[in-house]
């Protein structure tokens, strides 16, 4: 393959390394060296790739968590365009500002459908097994180039803007990556079995309504803790869904899984751990309350969780 997903990991690593260097040279940041260390370690994970020993990668993640937890990751003052100049550029470009954003899904779809099986000689143009993600990587680079072209800015200024956004997000930028592996980790250490033991030992699971409620509410609660519905799914499905709902009450696995994931998404709406959904938008929009998105979503999430319980109760055997 000419273009593989690993190539874009290196691009991400290089960008993070530049952010680390910018942070280290920013005298306005009182924690510039520890902030630079945080981003430098993150860059090393991407640049090292499969060549990095798993133990070293784990140690880096632990070190990053300690840096973030100790308040060692702070925001500086990136060298960005003055606000007046930014507003003038926005007025001049108008709706053209949306072209780079629209280019991302367009290029991704084209790459993952039309270019998936294209070959140059004996080699595939893009990795057929990762066509969508490779297309997304290509689309992001094209969108960045298009944005520079539209705004008459340089790639250096694009990196400054990237660093500004990274500083605004802080350690939460790293959170989705960390949470993505949490579900697998929980499964490997037997959290699902522990949940099954607790649920069957202390909760009367002989009632269909109780079992359905435990499953749906558990999906939402584990998602709140882990910030990711896909991480919560193997824990609750392995602990309650399969052994109780399917094994005892003969639930349709497809119905159980679909409504269970929908219940998990209710938890996503209510947790700061889902940083890419709830914390990132607040930071990008400069909202004064970083939990404003969550507060607006809770009145929807709770009734929707109740609806999921009712739906699963009546539909699980169909």
Q: What is the structure's pLDDT at 203?
A: 80
Per DSSP, the three-state class of 4 is coil
Query: Does the pLDDT value for residue 145 go beyond 90?
Result: yes
**In the chain, alpha helices (H):** 5-24, 32-48, 54-69, 83-93, 99-113, 131-151, 155-169, 175-180, 182-188, 191-202, 208-226, 229-236, 253-268, 275-278, 280-284, 292-315
Cα 162 to Cα 17: distance, rounded to the nearest angstrom = 12
Please name the residues in contact with 125: beta carbons below 8 A apart, sequence gap of 6 or more: 1, 2, 3, 115, 118, 119
The CB density around residue 142, as the number of other CB atoms within 10 Å, is: 17
Best CA proximity match to 230, nearest among 186, 174, 190: 186
For the stretch 22-54, pLDDT in tens is 999 988 888 889 999 999 999 999 999 888 898
Query: What's this model's pTM, rounded to 2 decimal places?
Result: 0.73
Q: Which residue has the tokens 């910030």?
A: 227
Mean pLDDT over the full length of the chain: 86
CB 80 within 8 Å of CB 161: yes
Q: Which residue has the tokens 């899984």?
A: 257
DSSP characters for 77-133?
------HHHHHHHHHHHGGGGGHHHHHHHHHHHHHHHTSTT-EETTEESB-GGGHHH
- Give the mean model confidence (pLDDT) for residues 74-96: 78
Query: Does the pLDDT value for residue 199 go beyond 80?
Result: no
For the stretch 149-184, pLDDT in tens is 888 888 988 888 888 888 877 777 787 777 767 766
Please name the residues in contact with 303: beta carbons below 8 A apart, sequence gap of 6 or more: none
The CB density around residue 139, as the number of other CB atoms within 10 Å, is: 21
- Higher-confidence residue: 197 or 59? 59
């Amino acid at each position: 393959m000419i273009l593989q997903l690993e190539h874009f990991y290196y691009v991400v690593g290089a960008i993070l390394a530049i952010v680390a260097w910018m942070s280290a040279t920013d005298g306005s940041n009182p924690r510039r060296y520890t902030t630079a260390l945080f981003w430098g370690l993150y860059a090393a994970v991407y640049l090292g790739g499969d060549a990095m020993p798993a133990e070293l990668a784990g140690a880096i993640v632990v070190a990053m968590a300690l840096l973030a937890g100790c308040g060692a990751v702070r925001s500086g003052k990136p060298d960005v365009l003055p606000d007046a100049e930014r507003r003038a550029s926005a007025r001049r470009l108008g709706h053209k500002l949306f072209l780079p954003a629209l280019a991302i899904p367009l290029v991704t779809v084209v790459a993952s459908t039309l270019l998936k099986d294209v070959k140059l000689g004996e080699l595939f143009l893009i990795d057929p097994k990762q066509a969508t993600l490779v297309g997304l990587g290509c689309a992001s680079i094209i969108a960045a180039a298009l944005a520079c072209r539209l705004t008459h800015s340089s790639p250096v200024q694009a990196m400054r803007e990237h660093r500004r956004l990274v500083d605004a997000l802080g350690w939460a930028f790293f959170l989705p990556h960390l949470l993505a592996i949490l579900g697998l980790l929980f499964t490997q250490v037997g959290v699902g079995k522990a949940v099954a033991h607790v649920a069957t030992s202390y909760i009367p699971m002989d009632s269909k309504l109780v079992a359905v409620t435990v499953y749906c509410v558990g999906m939402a609660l584990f998602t709140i803790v882990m910030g990711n519905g896909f991480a919560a799914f193997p824990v609750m499905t392995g602990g309650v869904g399969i052994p109780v709902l399917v094994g005892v009450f003969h639930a349709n696995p497809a119905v159980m899984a679909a409504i269970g994931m929908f219940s998990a998404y209710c938890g996503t709406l209510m947790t700061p751990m889902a940083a890419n959904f709830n914390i990132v938008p607040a930071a990008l929009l400069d909202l004064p309350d970083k939990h404003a998105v969550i507060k607006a979503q809770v009145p929807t999430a709770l009734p929707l969780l109740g609806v999921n319980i009712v739906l699963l109760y009546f539909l699980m055997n169909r």
